[in-house]
Chain A
Amino acid sequence: MSISLLPSESPLQFLRPDGTLAENTPNLGLSSEQLVNMYRTMVRTRTLDTLAISLQRQGQLGVWASSRGQEGGQVGCAFAMEDRDWSFSTYREHAIAIHKGVPFDALLRQYKGEWFGLFDPKEYRFAPHSIPIATHLLHAVGYAHAAKLAGDDLVAFGFVGDGATSEGDFHEALNFASVLDAPVVFFVQNNGFAISTPTRMQTRAPSLAHKAIGYGIQGYQVDGNDVLASYHTTRTAVTEARATGRPALIEAHTYRMQPHTTADDDTRYRDTDDAEEWAAKDPILRFEKLLRSTGDLNDEIIETIASEANEESLSIRSQVTTAQPPPVAEGFNHVYENIPPHLALQRDAVLNEIQEAGL
């Protein structure tokens, strides 16, 4: 039994970098419309991610963690999720957020510092992104477990990067999920680096997916730049999780094409050769080639998708640049259900001090 839990020797790939399909590609059951929607989501993600980097350089955002290069794995995974499935993500799952319908201007205004969460997580089944590494995987386990107890057949998705697999909470989450039969899909995007630290400094396991067997759960390796392999693998895992409650660990091999964040300098720790090599494996380019070859895309559709994304980007830019700080009282109003007396006094003193200053 344990042998079957091991992931494949190499990452599953259907869509080759040159845009052709591998011979063993199964019928994925995706309609032309779905395929174009997947492509559109990838383009939107990259366009808005690029906008965010610009806005940070222009002094509008404190920092930004780019998802560039990771759109394939994320979009494939996103399209395997049902609407009712929940995402527990880090700060880099922008495609998941977009697919879930999270208003992107809200995300950017969060990074501008207007507030931490400017959308209702329940509305989008998208939990507030978690910056403390790996901590939210346990939340996914608890959410899935509660749903199962309540007879709700949703699946929770826990997203992390390669670095997070070193944290104690990663171990605890996988173990809990397995022991509790909690329907969680752990989706690890191995993008090669935890800031500057390469994956070989995180683990000497054959792959991150191999860790699954230690918890008695199924491991998968997939090409994270192949939207179709990602879709297929996630679909397999989520279907199993929904049916049986058994969690799964998916490792999507990809590459972070930007520095860790806009505050990082990746030239200090990695070769530009790598970047060029991975640029050739760009998930959007190869998918675009495939869909052109199948006739699902043409110049006109591509141009339309691009210009729609650009318009969306301009509109969001304006929402971000005109965003205002919240009223100072908001700093105090959400700490407790009812503001305790000492805090009300402090709030009033602060507001009074500001008012007295004529601000």
Chain B
Amino acid sequence: MSYTMAEALNAALHDAMADDDQVVVLGEDVATLGGVFRITVDLQRKFGEKRIFDTPLAESGIVGTAIGMAMYGMRPVVEIQFDGFLYPAFEQLVCHVAKMRNRTMGSLQLPMVIRIPYGGGIGAVEHHSESPESYFMHTAGLKVYTPGTPQDAYSMLRDAIADPDPVVFFEPKRRYYEKADGTLPIRTEPVGTAVVRTTGDTATIVAYGPMIPTALEAAELAKEEGWSLEVVDLRSLNPIDYDTVIASVKKTGRAVVVHEAPMTLGPGAEIAARIQEGAFYSLEAPVQRVTGWDTPYPPALLEEEFLPSPDTILNAVERALEF
């Protein structure tokens, strides 16, 4: 038996809705169509129009409405259709979703999940390949999760829906059809912990979301070079489990942070800063970053140069080894 990440996400939504009738799903094309990536497929048939409904085409409206529903006591799970269409909802997210608990001293909580397919690598047109996670990691009051495996997709989405705080849940769209063996449901490590996907002592590869298969492929290829890479899957980008990251870097002495988001003020900037604070005397080389460029996401025919690949990760490991 096997299942895809898309199926795992669908199952997580299904099971969460079955377990708690306060869980509701809303967004553009989520109900009748089942979402443009079919993540919500069949949910309306099973749970009806009160539990999952199509909204008008308005992202600010979707998130803002979900805020009101959460204030009433529901647990809304909203879908933003593509990463690049998120921005109309930015004001609602930053001004209200992130702050409601704080400004009411905990009286009003927003246990809501904002699901966003993100990242590139699918040959898409503009605004369909973005990695905006930094904005939300930077915004206090939001949790930011991103699964890198089908198993985590199920387990972490369940955790996100159960979370008393709002969670921005980034789904690596290029990995929607990655398969895992086994059956659902499956529960993995609690969200908020990073996981060492493969152990090694040459260098630590810090990655998350769509870069997990890429990092693991790099680790496999690294064996040909005589290197053993330790891949740390962050899973949660806010909070980040720095204990696991720093323990790994203390062991390997070298760190390479990998993400599709641009380099400048990308997640790697913060992670590198934390590594130098926590593992300074263990560092054999400056923390390397393999990231997207500090440019707008390029057209499809250039994206394979833009995106981190096993090759560019191995090059970064080699640079770290040269110090």
A, B co-complexed: yes
Given contacts A197-B54, A357-B311, contact A331 B293 (CB under 8 A): yes
Complex interface bits, A314-351 against B, C-beta within 8 A gives 1, otherwise 0: 00000000001110101110010000001100110010
- Known contacts A63-B124, A133-B85, A166-B57; decide if A196 and B33 are in contact (CB<8 Å): yes
User: A167–B88 contact, CB under 8 A?
Assistant: yes
On whether A132 and B33 interact (CB within 8 A), knowing A113-B300, A326-B302, the answer reads: no
CA distance A112 to B302 in the complex (A): 11
Q: Report A-chain residues with C-beta under 8 Å of the C-beta of B193.
A: none
Contact A131 B311 (CB under 8 A): no
Whether A195 contacts B28 by the Cβ 8 Å rule is yes
A168 & B127 in contact (Cβ 8 Å cutoff): no
Q: Contact: B56 with A201, CB < 8 Å?
A: yes
B36 touches A343 (CB 8 A): no
Contact bitstring B16-58, A, C-beta under 8 A = 1, else 0? 0000000000001100111010000000000000000011111
Is the CB–CB distance between B315 and A353 below 8 Å?
A: yes
* A/B interface sample: 23 pairs, CB < 8 A: A62-B300, A63-B125, A113-B125, A113-B299, A115-B299, A163-B56, A163-B57, A166-B57, A169-B88, A195-B28, A196-B32, A196-B54, A201-B55, A201-B56, A268-B32, A269-B33, A324-B301, A328-B302, A328-B305, A331-B305, A335-B294, A342-B294, A346-B293
The contact string, 1 if C-beta is below 8 Å from chain A, for chain B 53-68, is: 0111110110000000
A197 touching B28, Cβ below 8 Å: yes
Would B299 and A114 count as touching, CB distance under 8 A? yes
A331 touches B294 (CB 8 A): no
A110 to B264, CA, bound (A): 27
B72 within 8 Å of A (CB atoms) = no
A131→B127 contact, CB < 8 A = yes
Alpha-carbon distance A181/B128, docked complex (angstroms)? 35
Tell me if B123 is interfacial: C-beta within 8 Å of chain A: yes
- A202 CB, nearest partner CB in chain B, Å: 5
> How distant is the Cα of A114 from the Cα of B303 in the complex, in angstroms?
10
Q: Check B312 for interface membership: any CB of A closer than 8 A.
A: yes
- Which residue of chain A has the shortest Cβ distance to B91 in the bound complex? A168
Q: In this complex, what residue of B is CB-closest to A332?
A: B295
Nearest B residue (CB) for A170 = B58
Looking at A164, A169, A325, A353, the one whose CB has the most chain B CB atoms below 10 A away is A325
The residue that A202 contacts in the complex, of B56, B293, B315, with Cβ under 8 A, is B56
A194 at the interface (CB under 8 A from B): yes
Bitwise interface map of A from 73 to 111 toward B, beta carbon under 8 Å scored 1, else 0: 000000000000000000100000000000000000011
Q: Is the CB of B33 within 8 A of A116?
A: no
B292-316 vs A, CB cutoff 8 Å, 1 = contact: the mask equals 0111101111110110000110010
A243 at the interface (CB under 8 A from B): no
Number of interface residues of A (CB under 8 A): 47
In the complex, A201→B27 CA distance in Å?
12
B84 to A113, Cβ gap below 8 A? no
Output the nearest chain B residue to A129 by Cβ-Cβ distance: B126
A62 lies within 8 A of B125 (CB):
yes
Nearest-Cβ distance from residue B119 to partner chain A, whole angstroms: 15
A264 at the interface (CB under 8 A from B): yes
B87 interface residue, CB < 8 Å from A? Answer: yes
Interface flag for A263 (CB, 8 Å):
yes
Interface centre among B34, B54, B124, B315 (most CB of A within 10 A): B54
Most buried by A among B28, B60, B303, B312: B28
Contacting residue for B305 out of A116, A196, A354, CB 8 A: A354
Contact A331 B298 (CB under 8 A): yes
CB of B123 within 8 A of CB of A62, answer yes
Interface centre among B55, B57, B298, B315 (most CB of A within 10 A): B57
Nearest CB in chain B: distance from A170 CB, A: 9
Give every chain B residue within 8 A of A347 (Cβ-Cβ): 293
Which residue of A115, A195, A265, A353 is within 8 Å of B312 (Cβ)? A353
CA distance A63 to B36 in the complex (A): 13
Out of A63, A264, A326, name the residue touching B299 (CB < 8 Å). Answer: A326
Q: Which residue of B lies closest to A128 (CB)?
A: B126
- Taking the nearest CB of chain B, how far is it from the CB of A32, in angstroms? 40
Does residue B108 face the partner (Cβ distance < 8 Å to A)?
Answer: no
Write the nearest CB–CB distance from B149 to chain A, whole angstroms. Answer: 25
CA separation between A212 and B122, bound complex, in Å?
Answer: 39
Chain B neighbourhood of A197, CB < 8 A: 28-29, 32, 54-57
A residues less than 8 Å from B298 (CB atoms): 331
Distance of A37 Cα from B294 Cα, bound (Å): 46
Least Cβ–Cβ distance between A155 and chain B, in angstroms: 26
For residue B263, CB closer than 8 A to chain A, the reply is: yes
CB distance from A58 to the nearest CB of B (A): 13
Query: A194 touching B57 by the CB < 8 A rule?
Result: yes
Supply 7 further A-B pairs (C-beta < 8 A) apart from A166-B56, A201-B54, A343-B295.
A114-B301, A131-B128, A195-B36, A202-B56, A326-B302, A350-B305, A354-B305
Contacts of A264 in B (CB 8 A): 36
Query: Taking the nearest CB of chain B, how far is it from the CB of A196, in angstroms?
Result: 4
**Which residues of chain B in 83-108 are interfacial with respect to chain A, using CB atoms and an 8 Å cutoff?**
84-85, 87-88
CB distance from B297 to the nearest CB of A (A): 10
Residues in chain B near residue A166, CB distance under 8 A = 56-58, 61
User: 5 closest pairs, A vs B, by CB?
Assistant: A113-B300, A166-B56, A196-B33, A163-B57, A325-B301
